[in-house]
A and B are shown apart, each in its own frame.
Chain A
Amino acid sequence: MPAADLRLPERAGLDVEQIRRDFPILREKVNDNPLVYLDNAATAQKPQVVIDAIQQYYQSYNSNIHRGVHHLSQQATEAYEKARVKAQRLLNAPESREIIFVRSTTEAINLVAQTYGRKHLQAGDEVLISAMEHHSNIVPWQMICQEKEARLRVIPINDKGELLLEEFERLLNERTRVVAVTHVSNALGTINPIEQIIEKAHQYDAVVVIDGAQAAPHMALDVQALDCDFYAFSGHKFYGPTGVGILYGKGDLLDSLPPYQGGGEMILSVSFEKTTYNVVPHKFEAGTPNIVGGIALGAAIDYVNEVGLENIGPYEDELFGYATEQLSQFSELKIIGTAELKASIISFVMDGIHAHDAGTILDQDGIAVRTGHHCAQPVMDHFQVPATSRASFAFYNTKEEVDILVQGIRKVIEVFK
C-alpha cells in the first residue's frame, strides 16, 4: 500500500496543493466546471490511500475474519483489528476492546439506546437531548423512551444556535439517566461545551452519549480527558468509506450491557437451551462486519494523522473565517448559526430565494452545497426557516473555492433579481 505522499510542511500549516492531489475526485468536472466540493458535512471525499486500501483488500486478501485458520483470514483479521487500534488511538481510548465497529453514527446511537436504554430506563426516567440534534440523536431516544415510558426532554438553544447551559443544569435531576448531545451541530456548526456537559451530567450519575460525527474529522479528541461514556463517529465523514462507524464506550459499561443484535461472532457457545455471549467488543458485533470498511477507515485515520489534526484545525478555522467574512458581505444572505465557537460549517438562507433554487444554480457552476433541513427539522423550526443552504469545508478546500462560491451566490441573486 503506497503511503500518502505528504511532504512535511516547513512550518505549521498545510500544503494544500499537495493534499488536493491525494484526492482524485477533486480533479473531476461538474457541468464543465471544476468540482468545488463544499458538502463535507454530508460526506467527505476519499484520499487515494483509502481507495487503494479497499482495492487491495478485495484484490489480495479478501477473507472472513475471526474464523478461519488459513492465511488470508489471518491477514484480514489482523488488518481489521489493527484498524480498531487506530481508532482507539485516535480517540485515546484506554483499551481497543472499547472500540466497537458499527455501520454509522446512527447505528452507534441506536446501539446505546437499545442496550443501555433497554437495560436501565424505567417509567418516569428522563433522557436529555438538545434542540440542535440530528434526527439520528432524537429518534432512537424517542423510540426507547416510548417503549419504557420514559421522558425525553430537550435542552433549548438561543438564537445564535448555542446550547443554554443554565437550562441544561435546570433540566438535570435524579431521574436523568442519559444525556445525549452532539459535539458539533451538523446544521449550525456550533461546537458544544461537552466537557462541562459531561461533568454536570455525571454529578447526577447520568451517562453521556456524544454524537461526534461532525467533530471527529476536524479536531483532536481524547475520550479519557472528556470522561464521556460513549462517543460515536462515522467513517465516511472521516475521509473513509460509507457503511462503517465507530462507537467508543467505557469498558466496564460495555461489559455490563446486553448484546445489541444476535448472531454469529457475538457468541462463545450456542445450544438450543442457552447461548453464552462473547466478550466486548465482539458481543456487539454480530455477523460478518464491514471488513473492508473497517480496514479502509484505518487507512483514513493514518492519512489524517499524517496530515495532522493539529494542522487541519487551524487551516479549516482560517478558511471558515474567510468564508464567513465573504458571505457576510451580502445583505440578501443571512447566516443561521452564529455561535461563538463554530466548526467549518456555514448554514445560510437568502431573502426570497429557497435553498433548493440556490443549490441548483450553484450546482451549474460545479459547486456542491447541501440544501434542505439537514436531518435536523427541529433546528429549522427553531429558526423558522423551511430549509437552509449549507457550505461545509474540509482541509482540501481553498480560499479560491470560497471565492467561486461567492461568485455563485452573486449569480443566484442575479437570477432572482
Chain B
Amino acid sequence: MSHLRDLYQEVILDHSKSPRNFSELCDANRKADGHNPLCGDKVTVYLKLNDGMVEDVSFTGVGCAISTASASLMTQAVKGKSLAAANELFNRFHGLVTGKIDEEQNLGELVVFQGVSEFPVRVKCATLAWHTLQSALEKAEGSISKE
C-alpha cells in the first residue's frame, strides 16, 4: 500500500476529484488539445497570454486521477509565470516524474507527483497536460498526441 499512497497522495486525490481552473477560458488567446491515443485521456488547455506572461490558464477534458490532478496543479503552478519560467518548470517536473531528479527543486506543490516515478507507465498521465501546455505556448492552435 505504501507505493500506492506515494502515488495517490491526498493532494492528488483532492485535485482529481475537484480540479481547479476546470473550465473553458472565454478570453483565451491560445488553446491546444492533448490526447493520449493509447489510454483515451483527453485534455484541452486554454491560455491567456499577455506580454509573454501566462495571465490566465484553464483546462477541460477527461482522464485518470493522475492526469486530471496534474492538469489542475499545473494551471495553478504556471499562472502568472513567464513563458520561459513555465517551460523551465515543466523541465523540472518532467525530471521529477521520470525519477531523474529527486530533490524538490522549487517545485512547490508539484512535488506530490514524485511517486509517479515508481510507476513508469503512468508518467505519460502526469505529463499529458504539460505537453499540451507546451503546444499551446508554441503555437496559436494545435493538437498533440503524446507517446
Cα-based distance from A174 to B15 in the complex (angstroms): 56
Complex Cα gap A191–B64 (Å): 30
**Does B41 interact with chain A (Cβ within 8 Å)?**
yes
For residues 355 through 376 of chain A, which have their beta carbon under 8 Å from a beta carbon of chain B?
355-357, 360-361, 364, 371-373
**Hey, what's the 0/1 contact readout for A371-403 against B, CB within 8 Å counting as 1?**
111000100100000110000000000000000
Does A372 lie within 8 Å of B39, measured CB to CB? yes
A415 & B125 in contact (Cβ 8 Å cutoff): no
Most chain A CB within a 10 A radius of its CB, from B1, B40, B66, B125: B40
Q: A357-B66, A364-B4 are in contact. Are A386 and B40 (CB under 8 A)?
A: yes
Which one of B7, B39, B62, B119 has the greatest number of beta carbons of chain A within 10 Å? Answer: B39
| A66: interface (CB < 8 Å) | no
Partner of A356, one of B1, B17, B122: B122
Give every chain A residue within 8 A of B42 (Cβ-Cβ). Answer: 386
Is B26 engaged at the interface, CB distance under 8 Å to the other chain?
no
With an 8 A cutoff between CB atoms, is A2 at the interface?
no
Number of interface residues of A (CB under 8 A): 19
**Choice from A357, A373, A377, A411 contacting B64 with Cβ under 8 Å:** A357
Q: Is B38 in contact with A386, judged by CB distance below 8 angstroms?
A: no
Task: Assess whether A354 is in contact with B65, with CB atoms less than 8 Å apart.
Answer: yes
Complex alpha-carbon distance, A357 and B62, angstroms: 13
How many angstroms between the C-alpha atoms of A360 and B122 in the bound complex? 9
Bound Cα distance from A371 to B63, whole angstroms: 12
Tell me if B22 counts as interface (CB < 8 A to partner A): no
**B13 interface residue per 8 A CB criterion:** yes
Number of interface residues of B (CB under 8 A): 22
Q: Which residues of A contact B39 (CB under 8 A)?
A: 356, 371-373, 387
Contact A416 B13 (CB under 8 A): yes
- Provide the A138-155 mask, 1 if CB < 8 A to any CB of B, else 0: 000000000000000000
Contact across chains for B7 and A372 when beta carbons are under 8 A apart: no
The reply on A9 being an interface residue by CB < 8 A is: no
Q: Report which of B4, B40, B125 forms a contact with A361, defined as CB distance below 8 A.
A: B4
Q: Can you list, as one digit per residue, whether each of B49-65 has a CB less than 8 Å from chain A (1) or not (0)?
A: 00000000000001111
Is the C-beta of A353 less than 8 angstroms from some C-beta in chain B?
Answer: yes
Is B139 engaged at the interface, CB distance under 8 Å to the other chain? no
Which residue on chain A has the smallest CB distance to residue B39? Answer: A372
Assess the B65–A372 pair: CB atoms within 8 A.
Answer: no
A304 smallest CB distance to B (angstroms) = 31
Inter-chain contact B13/A387, CB cutoff 8 Å? no
Task: Let me know if A386 and B66 touch, CB within 8 A.
Answer: no
Tell me the complex Cα distance, A371–B122, Å: 13
A138 to chain B, nearest CB (A): 15
Q: How far apart sit A3 and B27, CA to CA, in the bound complex (Å)?
A: 71
Contact with B along A175-196 (1 / 0, CB 8 A): 0000000000000000000000
Q: Give the Cβ gap from A287 to chain B, nearest Cβ, in Å.
A: 30
B residues less than 8 Å from A416 (CB atoms): 8, 13, 65
B8 contacts which chain A residues (CB < 8 A)? Answer: 357, 361, 415-416
Q: Is the CB of A360 within 8 A of B40?
A: no
Fill in one digit per residue for B107-147: 1 if any A CB lies within 8 Å of its CB, else 0: 00000000000010110010000000000000000000000
Which residues of A are in contact with B by a Cβ distance under 8 Å? 352-357, 360-361, 364, 371-373, 377, 380, 386-387, 411, 415-416
Instruction: Return the 5 tightest CB-CB contacts between A and B, nearest first.
Output: A354-B64, A356-B64, A357-B65, A386-B62, A386-B40
14 new A-B contacts, CB < 8 A, other than A386-B41, A386-B63, are A352-B17, A353-B65, A354-B63, A356-B41, A356-B64, A356-B125, A360-B119, A360-B121, A360-B122, A361-B4, A361-B8, A364-B1, A380-B40, A387-B39
Q: List 25 A-B contacts (CB under 8 A).
A: A354-B64, A356-B41, A356-B64, A356-B125, A357-B8, A357-B66, A360-B4, A360-B119, A364-B1, A364-B3, A364-B4, A371-B39, A372-B38, A372-B40, A373-B39, A373-B40, A377-B40, A380-B40, A386-B41, A386-B62, A387-B40, A415-B8, A415-B13, A416-B13, A416-B65
